Structure 1
Amino acid sequence: MWHQQEIHLAELARGFHLITDEVARALPCLSECCVGLLHLQLMHTSASLTLNENTDPDVRHDLNAFMGNLIPEGLSYFRHTLEGPDDMPAHVAASLLGTQVTLAVRDGRLALGTWQGLWLGEHRDQGGPRRLLATLNGCETR
């Protein structure tokens, strides 16, 4: 089976947001897939996707703090500044973390580890709504 669709995410504040359940709800066809792969591609260059710990809220805080220290706004050597001081740091963060992930699907669900979740990293103050292109490939039976 092959299935492809866009998933639309509402505008989110700057930071890291757990989107695992939202993605799974948007893809009811996951339940038909016994074994497969789900590829998610974020259709933007100033946000990111990452797989990380999904339980402790301190993870969100610590990821935000680390990225802010690693890529601060206002660096004098950034030339791409017409879209605001948060834009170029957002592009750097998206390049470092990545804008796509591939997840295993098993028995109709995402095959994630006990503490794993899918996170959207919103690296702009007002990034707007975001779009994911989801491509599912798998077998309906074993």
Structure 2
Amino acid sequence: MVLWLQKEICLKARPRGFHLVTHEIVQQLPELAQFEVGLVHLWIQHTSASLSINENADPNVRLDFERFFNRLAPEGEPYYRHNDEGPDDLPAHFKSSLLGCELTIPVRQGDLNMGIWQGIYLGEHRNHAGSRQLVATIQGQPKSE
């Protein structure tokens, strides 16, 4: 038997940068405990933020990510046309497209089956963003009773 579950979860507002959100996501998905094996798909419903998986121990990695992507997609370039919401608007869309809006993570024995040094990053690419909405879809084999 395969079980499907979908729900929307909300991540609290954060400042611009890369933030570990693994714990916040798992806290809002107690239904994970029902699954022996499966997949969780996470989809961020925004075009100016991103999701990725990377280093969860050294906070310097997240700072370096921010510096790297700011150099890759700088603000205020004279050839940008889309700047309706400020100079961080188009660069935020570039970063979101480069990093992506979705993740698929294996589930094993009721928990995310990631490596010991892996964590889920929210890439917040706007200077003044609010909370971020995710759609979590879990598919898998339920634990036997």
Structure 1 segments of 4 or more deviating over 3 A?
none
Give the Cα separation in 1 of the matches to 2:67 and 2:83.
Answer: 22
1:70 equivalent among 69, 72, 85: 72
Give the Cα separation in 2 of the matches to 1:116 and 1:55.
Answer: 8
Say whether 1:113 aligns with 2:115.
yes
Q: Percent sequence identity over matched residues?
A: 52
Runs of 5+ in structure 2 lacking a partner? none
**In structure 1, what is the equivalent of residue 105 of structure 2?**
103
Say whether 1:51 aligns with 2:53.
yes
Give the Cα separation in 2 of the matches to 1:36 and 1:102.
Answer: 10
SS at match of 1:34: strand
Letter of the aligned partner of 2:96 in structure 1? A
Give the Cα separation in 2 of the matches to 1:37 and 1:76.
Answer: 43
Give the Cα separation in 2 of the matches to 1:98 and 1:76.
Answer: 25
**In structure 1, what is the equivalent of residue 134 of structure 2?**
132
SS at match of 2:42: strand
Letter of the aligned partner of 2:85 in structure 1? E
Letter of the aligned partner of 1:33 in structure 2? F
State the 1:141 CA deviation.
3.2
Aligned length: 142
**TM-score, length-normalised on structure 1?**
0.98
CA displacement, residues 95-134 of structure 1 (integer Å, 9 cap, x when unaligned): 0000100000001000000100000000000121110000
**TM-score, length-normalised on structure 2?**
0.96
Say whether 1:25 aligns with 2:38.
no
RMSD: 0.8
Within 5 Å, give how 1:6-21 maps onto structure 2.
Answer: 6-21=8-23
CA displacement, residues 54-94 of structure 1 (integer Å, 9 cap, x when unaligned): 00011011001101111110011110011110010000000
Within 5 Å, give how 1:76-95 maps onto structure 2.
Answer: 76-95=78-97
